[in-house]
Amino acid sequence: MMFEKGDVVTYAAAGVCKVEGTMDKKVKGFSKQYLVLKPVYEPNCAIYVPTDNEMLMSRVRGVMSEEDIYSLIEALPDIKKEWIDDDIKRTSFFRQTLKSGDRKEIMKMLRVLYLHRQEQLDNGRKFHSADEHFLKEAEHILFDEFAVVLGIEPDEVTGFITDRLNGAKA
């Protein structure tokens, strides 16, 4: 799938980007074509994705629709906490989940991290810094996309989700 200049897409963990177009660059004496992406919330940054690299290009995806976002939010209460106690296995699982770009799986991961963090706080324990890192990464990926699609600021997403869930319960 080729993208047009001005399209809004997501790219792996970089989050929401605007397609600036394509350009040819010489690397190690060879000319290659790159898709040029500008992260929406980091306009001074540019990402160059080689158009002939299927694996990297597969990480460029169109953004979710509003309906997709509402479906993800409405499914949140049904997600049970399935915590992986082994730090190494959990870290590997979270890395793979983020790398996959699967919004449903990232939302599940985020929910599990929120529930675990609350459990830790309730028991007077600290939330592991690595888990905090993964929580922030997942929020960045999802909340930036939610914000762009819904026309709100990223820091308003948590409130939006809460309001939506409370409205669903009423």
- pLDDT tens digits, one per residue of 36-86: 999 998 889 999 999 999 999 988 999 999 999 999 999 988 888 899 999
Structure tokens at 95: 């890395």
| Domain boundaries along the sequence of the chain | 8-62, 66-169
Question: What percent of the chain has a predicted confidence (pLDDT) above 70?
Answer: 97
Other Cβ atoms closer than 10 A to 107: 22
- Whether 147 contacts 115, CB under 8 Å: no
| pLDDT at 168 (0 to 100) | 56
- Whether 40 contacts 17, CB under 8 Å: yes
User: Fold for domain 8-62?
Assistant: Thrombin, subunit H (2.40.10)
CA distance 124 to 121: 5
Of the candidates 149, 123, 161, 164, the one whose C-alpha atom is nearest the C-alpha of residue 40 is: 149
**pTM, two decimal places:** 0.85
pLDDT at 1 over 80: no
- pLDDT tens digits, one per residue of 89-107: 999 999 999 988 888 999 9
CATH code for the part of the protein at 66-169: 1.20.58.1290
Give long-range contacts, CB 8 A cutoff, 24+ apart: 135-139.
135/110, 137/13, 137/98, 138/97, 138/98, 138/106, 138/109, 138/110, 138/113, 139/110
| pLDDT at 80 (0 to 100) | 85
Of residues 67 and 11, more confidently modeled:
67
CA distance 48 to 135: 26
pLDDT at 30 over 90: no
169: pLDDT confidence band, cut at 50, 70 and 90?
low
Q: Where are the beta strands (DSSP E) in 28-170?
A: 30-39, 47-50, 60-62
pLDDT at 170 over 60: no
